């Protein structure tokens, strides 16, 4: 009986250690800053938004999606412009399912990056408009 208890405790410690190494504390709910992810696809397109990556699912889910657009012919400071997904001709709802096998990389967007700042500014403008 004592051996079983010891094994259970050891197993719990091992599992905790494993999960502790795998889980980013910043990604836990109620703490940390907003988590915006950049999803780079194999075809070169990149999307930014809130990522829901459920294990064992063939797709990942992005919400509140933004993407970059060529602005080389427009007089902006940078040759790209940020667009919010939803204004296309089919006006998609605010969720995007991406096949997992088409994803090249997933990275976290820094809040102070140009993308992070532009998204934050868009949120402020949206709140002002309401």
Residues in contact with other proteins by CB under 8 A are 29-30, 32-35, 50, 66, 71, 73-78, 80-84, 111, 114-129
> Among 68, 71, 27, 33, which residue's Cα sits nearest to residue 47?
68
- Bridge partners of 51, per DSSP, are 62
Residue nearer to other proteins on the CB measure, 38 or 115: 115
Q: What is the rounded distance in angstroms from the CA atom of residue 56 to the CA atom of residue 118?
A: 33
Residue nearer to other proteins on the CB measure, 63 or 100: 63
Residue nearer to other proteins on the CB measure, 96 or 115: 115
Quote the least distance from Cβ 56 to other proteins, whole Å: 16
Contact 47, 96 (CB under 8 A): yes
């Amino acid at each position: 009986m004592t051996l079983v208890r010891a094994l259970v405790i050891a197993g719990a410690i091992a599992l905790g250690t494993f999960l502790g190494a795998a889980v980013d504390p910043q990604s836990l709910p109620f703490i940390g800053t907003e988590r915006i992810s950049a999803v780079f696809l194999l075809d070169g397109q990149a999307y930014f938004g809130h990522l829901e990556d459920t294990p064992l699912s063939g797709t990942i889910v992005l919400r509140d999606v933004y993407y970059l657009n060529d602005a080389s012919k427009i007089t902006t400071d940078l040759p790209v412009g940020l667009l919010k997904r939803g204004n296309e001709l089919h006006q998609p709802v605010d969720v995007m399912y991406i096949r997992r096998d088409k994803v090249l990389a997933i990275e976290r967007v820094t809040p102070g990056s140009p993308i992070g700042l532009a998204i934050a500014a868009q949120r402020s403008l949206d709140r002002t408009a309401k």
